Amino acid sequence: MIGDAVPAVGGPNDLDALAYPPEALPYQPGRVREYSVTALDRELEIAPGVFFPAWTYNGTVPGPVIRATEGDILRVRFVNGGVHPHTIHFHGIHPSNMDGVFEIVGTGDALTYEFEAKPAGFHVYHCHAAPLKKHIHKGLYGAFIVDPEEPRPAAREIVMVMNGFDTDGDGSNNFYTVNGRSFYYARYPIRVRRGELVRIYLANLTEFDLVNSFHLHAEFFRYQPTGTGDVWEYTDTIMQCQGQRGVLEITFSNPGRFMFHAHQTEFAELGWMGFFEVEG
Domain housing 85: 23-147
Q: Which of 117, 147, 177 is the last residue of a domain?
A: 147
- Classify residue 93: in a domain, yes or no: yes
Q: In the prediction, which pLDDT does 3 show?
A: 86
Q: In the prediction, which pLDDT does 33 show?
A: 98
Q: In the prediction, which pLDDT does 105 show?
A: 98
Residues 125 and 186 in one domain: no
Residue 32 is part of a domain; what is its CATH number? 2.60.40.420
Q: In the prediction, which pLDDT does 2 show?
A: 83
- Classify residue 239: in a domain, yes or no: yes
Q: Which of 147, 178, 200 is the last residue of a domain?
A: 147
Q: In the prediction, which pLDDT does 1 show?
A: 79
Half-sphere exposure (Cβ direction) of 155: Cα atoms closer than 13 Å: 19
Residues 137 and 175 in one domain: no
* DSSP line for 195-213: TSEEEEEEEE--SSSSEEE
Residues 117 and 171 in one domain: no
What CA–CA distances, in Å, run from 147 to 77, 104, 155?
Answer: 21, 29, 13
- Classify residue 3: in a domain, yes or no: no
Residues 194 and 214 in one domain: yes
pTM reported for the whole predicted model: 0.97
Q: In the prediction, which pLDDT does 9 show?
A: 96
Q: Cα(182)–Cα(22) distance, rounded to whole angstroms?
A: 24
Residues 171 and 237 in one domain: yes
- Classify residue 166: in a domain, yes or no: yes
**Low-confidence residues of the chain: pLDDT under 50:** none
Looking at the structure of the chain, the number of domains it has is 2
- Classify residue 162: in a domain, yes or no: yes
